[in-house]
A and B are shown apart, each in its own frame.
Chain A
Amino acid sequence: AQSVTQLGSHVSVSEGALVLLRCNYSSSVPPYLFWYVQYPNQGLQLLLKYTSAATLVKGINGFEAEFKKSETSFHLTKPSAHMSDAAEYFCAADFGNEKLTFGTGTRLTIIP
């Protein structure tokens, strides 16, 4: 079955440290992939997308993600965490069926 898996429901990093949030997909054909961020009691904001062009994708707020077909992964990174990055992050995929399938999310905490 086609699915999205986010390893680590909670991740804590120190301010200024590297942020790494993991996302893997399960599908025989690479999907379109997205990262969204959600602040408390708000909707989802698109951070970045992979739609089969460049495998290294840059997004807003200094985030980037790399699509690796061999690893079926699309991990999200940011070189230096900021307090404002504290939020819930969701990886999502469009498996060619016109809708998004989401992972269960990763809550990012930034330690001052």
Chain B
Amino acid sequence: DTGVSQDPRHKITKRGQNVTFRCDPISEHNRLYWYRQTLGQGPEFLTYFQNEAQLEKSRLLSDRFSAERPKGSFSTLEIQRTEQGDSAMYLCASRRDGDYEQYFGPGTRLTVT
């Protein structure tokens, strides 16, 4: 059990650029979640997958955001035309069906200049 991993850990980009983050869940976990955490706040739900199916998207996830999990393993989160308000920590978590606790990765800190 190697834990949830995320790449990159830090990303600095200029406004208007596209960015993509990757999350590798714990190997036997079929549910994968994305959360966003801004400074001084708790994480907020963005979207989640059961295997390769994206089951729910938050209204926080504007049209500029897209997430995929093509083979039910790793997931990517893409932000197009980044804005300064997108600066945040993006956290990935995973869990198994039947369990309730989610295990989090180290996060990707995005800074949009």
Chain A positions within 8 Å of B, measured between CB atoms, are 4, 32, 34, 36, 41-46, 49, 51, 90, 92, 94, 98-105
**Complex Cα–Cα for A92 and B105 (A):** 16
How big is chain B's contact interface, by range?
A: 20 to 34
Interface contact tally, CB-CB below 8 A: 56
Whether B103 sits at the interface, judged by CB under 8 Å, is yes
Contact of A103 among B4, B42, B101, B103 (CB under 8 A): B42
Contact of A43 among B44, B56, B105 (CB under 8 A): B105
State whether A43 touches B91 (Cβ < 8 A): yes
Interface of B: prevailing SS:
strand
Give the distance to chain A from B92, nearest Cβ to Cβ, in Å: 8
Give the distance to chain B from A21, nearest Cβ to Cβ, in Å: 13
Whether B102 sits at the interface, judged by CB under 8 Å, is yes
Whether B65 sits at the interface, judged by CB under 8 Å, is no
Q: A49-B101, A51-B100 are in contact. Are A99 and B48 (CB under 8 A)?
A: yes
Contact of B42 among A41, A45, A90, A99 (CB under 8 A): A90
Give the distance to chain A from B106, nearest Cβ to Cβ, in Å: 4
Whether B69 sits at the interface, judged by CB under 8 Å, is no
**Complex Cα–Cα for A94 and B98 (A):** 13
Whether B72 sits at the interface, judged by CB under 8 Å, is no
Give the distance to chain A from B15, nearest Cβ to Cβ, in Å: 23
Q: A36-B104, A51-B100, A98-B48 are in contact. Are A90 and B55 (CB under 8 A)?
A: no
